[in-house]
Amino acid sequence: MGGLTLGVLRQSSFGIEPALDGARLVLQFRGTGDLEAVEPLAEYLDRAFDEVQRLSSAEVRFDFRELEFMNSSCFKAFVTFIERTRQAGGVPIVFVTDPAHHWQRRSLEALRRLAMGRVTIET
């Protein structure tokens, strides 16, 4: 299995910090995912997918509790990530949300429907 090789993504208003929680890969999102975050996010999720495969992760958790906003253009990267994991055997994906950020639940519901049974949303 080995240790985590995925690094931290830091931009002026957006960031992702990875961690291992047992066999889970946890990605903690912070700040604002605006148009400047689209390309770095897509590249980061490509590397995260590789990490999931390398570690044989049992679950991927996207923790959005400290994410203030994410532009709809950023969500394409999650669609790609979900599809890649489906093709590779379907590791469970959990989005952890902050109930105070109503946009999170609404936006993530579409992703949950895309991959029923493999994507869940927790508050």
Single pTM value for the model: 0.94
Segment among 40-49, 86-95, 111-120 with least mean pLDDT: 111-120
Residue range 53-111, pLDDT digits in tens: 999 999 999 999 999 999 999 999 999 999 999 999 989 999 999 999 999 999 999 88
Say which range, 13-22, 24-33, 48-57, 110-119, has the weakest mean pLDDT: 110-119
Q: What is the domain partition of the chain in residue ranges?
A: 9-122
Residue 113 has pLDDT above 80, yes or no: yes
Which CATH number is correct for 9-122, 3.40.309.10, 3.30.43.10, 3.30.750.24, 3.40.50.12780?
Answer: 3.30.750.24
Q: Given this model, what pLDDT does residue 114 score?
A: 84
The CA distances from residue 101 to 34, 41, 65, 91, 107, in Å, are: 16, 20, 8, 26, 11
